[in-house]
Structure 1
């Protein structure tokens, strides 16, 4: 025969409560660490999207104004600047330097200007073409993403 439960016996045991709290704590710790990684990756993706948009805008400006526009990268300072004219001679600033977010690095900007000359910036011409090249964007401890500019079309893509 089983004994009937009295109102004093109703509820959870101490062991059940401890196990529940331990499981909840473990799940929260996993969620927080996963969220931090997602936030860092999202920051890099957001910067890449912004940079691609700025470069497309520079290309459109070159076509509409009928003169070249340069987007020059400074890997040491982690910034890029939009200038009026070709990258090898441009001095008029169209847009003040913009910085990459903290922890996001701009690496190895190399764009081909002529057969034997490279610059750390891309020049968009009035015909919509560009100086071909690439640069890498990487957040601390994250994957390295290549931002590539095609010469004939001026298309900006990532891989």
Structure 2
């Protein structure tokens, strides 16, 4: 992954984890869709929201401490990294005064602390998910319609 920007590395990493869990997600969506006659529209919508949240959470947990990039630090580099909107997590102690030049700065996907709120830059998740799921769900919808049409014939 050398030569890629941090944003590109994030995109690749997030895409990787979304692909890992995508089949499981699609399987659960198919289960909901098979039972759609027994469920109200609001129940289906609620189930889909819960499923999407679980899917995002799996990706988030899998990638939260994944190291994106390591680089030797200088005071200027730390300040630059902290002001860079592409970097959504930094880990080296608390990045306070205890960071000295020459130590390694580790750029993380989301940061190491669970209580740390998810930053706005995580919208990259939605971008990746939207592209992948739209394509897969359109294909799934077509498949289900074909099965229904086949059952009627």
Query: TM-score under structure 2 normalisation?
Result: 0.28
TM-score if structure 1 supplies the norm length?
A: 0.28
Give 1 or 2 for the bigger CA radius of gyration.
Answer: 1
Q: Which has the higher helix share?
A: 2
More strand per residue: 1 or 2?
1
